[in-house]
Structure 1
């Protein structure tokens, strides 16, 4: 706990201060008032933490087919894509939350003969579909159905909170309460009373929570469950003392 506590005591402190104010008459009155307030103040830090559960899940479905020629491979990828889009629609995933990328084709090389240049042994045709789920509880069902339609892989699964600012606002309030509690303890120990807030500053950045991906096995099926993320706010508060 970092804190700062000061109070003027006796004439030996007040007299030099008064002399300085007379000699520095050109200094604006609000500056001297602010300085006096800071001299009779308690400065404390405060920390607040809230715990957010993600309500949005993003992932990428990858469809890949390999063969001798590109054209029939593209047809196969397009067929799987149509089935996947139908599956996602049945899962009540909005079209705006689905992004299907153009097909990509690349040659596959055979490096088995070290004495000659690699030869093309076929082609791989791939399409990626990015999906955002507003109801992560249905993820396992969508996962199973997507794999059944011919999806080759699921990549980049990430949980996030749709409105992290709400949790950060709660953390800020907790940080203020924490700072006030510390200041009250210090004021009581110094036989003074706590006054209004003179200055408050925020030391934490905007919330960008990252969530731990956790997997739990149930008795009947595999269930993917998001972890929780700590959203923390840190502030410094200066209280006037009386």
Structure 2
């Protein structure tokens, strides 16, 4: 049965889907926090340790392109005596963001960083090298979900519809990262459990279908 879609009533449905995939990369943010009585000493100490960490990571096989500064800050520290703030020194914080392309190398990275003076892990975020592949799969499934819902509506209403939507709009996209909690680096990091888990990719579409009575 043929009908003129331009003059046909329409139904609007939303399709949703979620796809999970195992991560194969990680962004490890390690930090060097240095304190000293004067700002120059704090900066020198921090710079020395940071450079040692960077060079050690490069020697271990990590590309210099995969290491970058995420944050660098200098702040005064105060002690409070009888309600008065007295300057006690300065804190310098340097956060390095390191991309790891082999997840089994995370423990080694943390060990190297610890041995060279890193004293905190800001976070470890897992990701995939091909996020678009997973998201597009979710988008395909969301479209099929919309078509399936439209079919059920058409069946319930006893109407005929064209399962090719006359309008299809991508409504949202969402990637659920896998961050680990902030931690202070201990002398040994080999016993720290690193659980990548899974990444979640969600997609939603709005589809408009034309229909007519039998």
**TM-score normalised according to structure 2 size:** 0.72
Question: For the residues of structure 2 that align with 1:203 and 1:35, how far apart are their CA atoms?
Answer: 22
In the alignment, the residues of structure 1 paired with residue 82 and residue 191 of structure 2 have an alpha-carbon distance, to the nearest angstrom, of: 47
CA contact (8 A) 1:211 1:226 kept: no
Residues 1:48 and 2:17 are matched in the alignment: yes
Tell me which of 172, 192, 197 is aligned to 2:164: 197
2:140 is matched with 173
Question: For 1:179 and 1:72, how far apart are their aligned partners in 2?
Answer: 62
**Alpha-carbon shift at residue 91 of structure 1 (Å):** 3.8
Partner of 1:211: 177
Report the 3-state secondary structure (helix = DSSP H, G, I; strand = E; otherwise coil) of the residue aligned with 1:224.
Answer: coil
For 1:101 and 1:171, the matched residues in 2 are separated by 31
1:231 corresponds in structure 2 to 201
**Which secondary structure state, in structure 1, belongs to the residue aligned with residue 133 of structure 2?**
helix
| Cα gap change, 1:184 to 1:63, in 2 (>3 Å) | closer
Aligned length: 203
- For residues 104-152 of structure 1, the C-alpha deviation after alignment (integer angstroms, 9 at most, x for no partner) is 54433232x316x433333333333222223333222211221221112
Instruction: Assess, with a 3 A threshold, how the Cα gap between structure 1 residues 202 and 227 changes in structure 2: closer, same or farther.
Output: farther
Q: Which one of the candidate residues 126, 130, 134 is aligned to 2:97? A: 130
Higher strand proportion (structure 1 or 2): 2
**Aligned-pair RMSD on alpha carbons?**
3.5
Alpha-carbon deviations, 1:91-110, whole Å to 9, x = none? 43221221247965443323
Q: TM-score, normalised by structure 1?
A: 0.65
Greater relative contact order (Cα < 8 A, sep 6+): 2
Query: What is the match of residue 62 of structure 2?
Result: 93
Most deviating of 74-83 and 141-150: 74-83
Of the two, which has the highest radius of gyration? 1
Distance 1:144 1:118 in 2: 38
| CA distance 1:101–1:203, shift in 2 (3 Å) | closer
Structure having the larger proportion of residues in helix:
1
Distance 1:86 1:72 in 2: 21
Which ranges in structure 2 are unaligned for 5 or more consecutive residues?
182-189
